[in-house]
Structure 1
Amino acid sequence: MPEQSLRPGAAGTGWEWRYEGACTGMDSSVFFHPEGERGSSRRRRDDGAKAVCATCPVIIRCREHALAAHEPYGVWGGMTEEERRAALSRGPRS
């Protein structure tokens, strides 16, 4: 489980970037797959979520959060959960 300090907190605690996200106000189903979603349906949803992320002014902050907090689900910072797991398993860049 991620450290408690990495979880979203009240405004004024370093999480203000979330309110600047391109995803603000969007339905979370764009970014989080329903149970059992696979194949082309999941790829299309992930691609749609990544397209939103590609326009986002805080994509780097979002991605950094998702990697640091080991977010287990959804598209964050333009990365799927599988892409984040792969990036984390490679370790820090040299």
Structure 2
Amino acid sequence: MYVSKIRDVTTVSVAKVPEARLEWVSQALCRTTNPDELFVRGAAQRKAAAICRHCPVIAECLADALDNQMEFGVWGGMTERQRRALLKQHPEVGSWSEFFEARRKRRRRTG
């Protein structure tokens, strides 16, 4: 059977990435690593999370992953399981960036 119908092509608009996100992403230590190293299972996740340990934008990365409910990979030094647990612990959080910023401010006042 030969099909000669031409289908309509739908244009998909790509959302612009917020400038603030571009700023922190460009500073991420993992930007120069093989992305496959961050999307691993089991004990290899600890090794992947070690890449994040000294990253200057670890908090921004984690907040972004939590805000966007990234299911797979290591983000902001946390594994999939750790992020799921954090989301369950704090279902009331609307913005993880704001949550972490408020936490930092409290620590500065008390420390």
**Normalized against structure 1, the TM-score is what?**
0.73
**Correspondence for 1:14 among 2, 12, 20:** 20
Query: What's the RMSD between the two structures over aligned residues?
Result: 2.0
Q: 1:27 to 1:83 in 2, by over 3 A?
A: same
Aligned-pair CA distance for 1:78: 0.4
Long gaps (5+) in structure 1:
1-6
Tell me, what secondary structure is at the counterpart of 1:87? helix
Long gaps (5+) in structure 2:
1-14, 94-98, 100-111
Amino acid of the structure 2 residue aligned with 1:65: D
Deviating above 4 A after TM superposition, structure 1's stretches of 4 or more consecutive aligned residues are: none
Q: What percent of counterpart residues are identical?
A: 34
CA distance in 1, matches of 2:47, 2:16: 24
Structure ranking higher on relative contact order (CA contacts 8 Å, 6+ apart): 1
Partner of residue 3, structure 1: none
Is residue 74 of structure 2 the alignment partner of residue 68 of structure 1?
no
CA distance in 2, matches of 1:72, 1:47: 16
Tell me, what secondary structure is at the counterpart of 1:70? coil
**Normalized against structure 2, the TM-score is what?**
0.63
Give the number of aligned pairs. 77
